[in-house]
Amino acid sequence: MTFTPGITSAAERGLIFAIAGQNLYVVREPRIAIPEGPATPLYLGALDGVACFAQLVEDDTAPAGEPVALRQLFGALTDEEFAVAGRALGLTTWDRDHRYCGRCGGPTEPSPTERARTCARCSFATYPRLSPAVIMLVERDGKCLLARNARTKMPFYSTLAGFVEVGETLEEAVAREVHEEAGVVVSDIRYFGSQPWPFTSSLMIGFTAQWASGEIHADPTEIMDAGWFARDAIPVVPPKLSIARELIDAFVIGV
Ligand SMILES: [Zn+2]
């Protein structure tokens, strides 16, 4: 399947990705009439030629059926559909949160030519914003550093991660996060891959790194428990949805 992003479409029918919170109404009927007026959905692009729209669901506009948490749809939708659903989540949230200008407070309108909302009063344009976050697997003598996050109830160990701060490089962010969260100094920081993470409007940028010095001294506000795990002793880890799991799987098979 091929997705071609776009800003506007004359299509009167298409696929609607209806978003409620972080849930998605799976609209399996691919040819739904697009409503007009203030509730007009955001055009996302075309998936194999089928127009795809995103719509934020308020209580009175909920389609029939039960919403499903987007995270649970990984594997149930095709990878391409899941990626479009992620765009739908990110863009409907951005669209809702930028109805008014951050500079002068005037009302904004969607631009007809680019993915932006423009202030009707001062012309200031607001674009969808991503928060870059680094996520990294640190290796030491054939073991990898995994930790249980103190702020989630998820019963698994994962790689460390954190948002990039203004003014730092990605590599500096990796080194800082590992040191802040686990008290360890790393070297040989190498790019691994990236993944859009629409749940927090993030782009996750994955790295591998080598332990250089220091023993684990976890920050208790961030980390419940952390340790070095051998390939044959990996604890419960995140599902395949995440780049964290890709990093761990790559470590386990030794690539
Ligand atoms: Zn303005």
What's the Rg (C-alpha) of the chain? 21
pLDDT score of 172: 98
CA of 125 to the centre of ligand 1 (A): 8
- Asked if 44 and 54 touch (Cβ cutoff 8 Å), the reply is yes
CA of 119 to the centre of ligand 1 (A): 5
Is residue 31 pLDDT above 80, yes or no?
no
pLDDT score of 77: 76
Q: Which of 184, 169, 176, 198 is nearest to 228 (CA)?
A: 184
Q: State the chain's mean pLDDT as an integer.
A: 87
The pTM assigned to this predicted structure is 0.84
Distance CA 217, CA 232 (A): 24
Is residue 68 pLDDT above 90, yes or no?
no
Is residue 71 pLDDT above 90, yes or no?
no
* Both structure tokens of 13: 């029918």
**Pairing state between β 23-25 and 13-20:** antiparallel
Q: Which residue has the tokens 């409503």?
A: 35
Distance CA 134, CA 71 (A): 20
CA of 109 to the centre of ligand 1 (A): 11
- 3-class SS of residue 125: strand
CA of 215 to the centre of ligand 1 (A): 51
Q: Residues 190-248: pLDDT tens digits?
A: 999 999 988 888 999 999 999 999 999 988 888 999 999 999 999 999 888 789 999 99
Task: Tell me which of 129 and 21 has the higher pLDDT.
Answer: 129
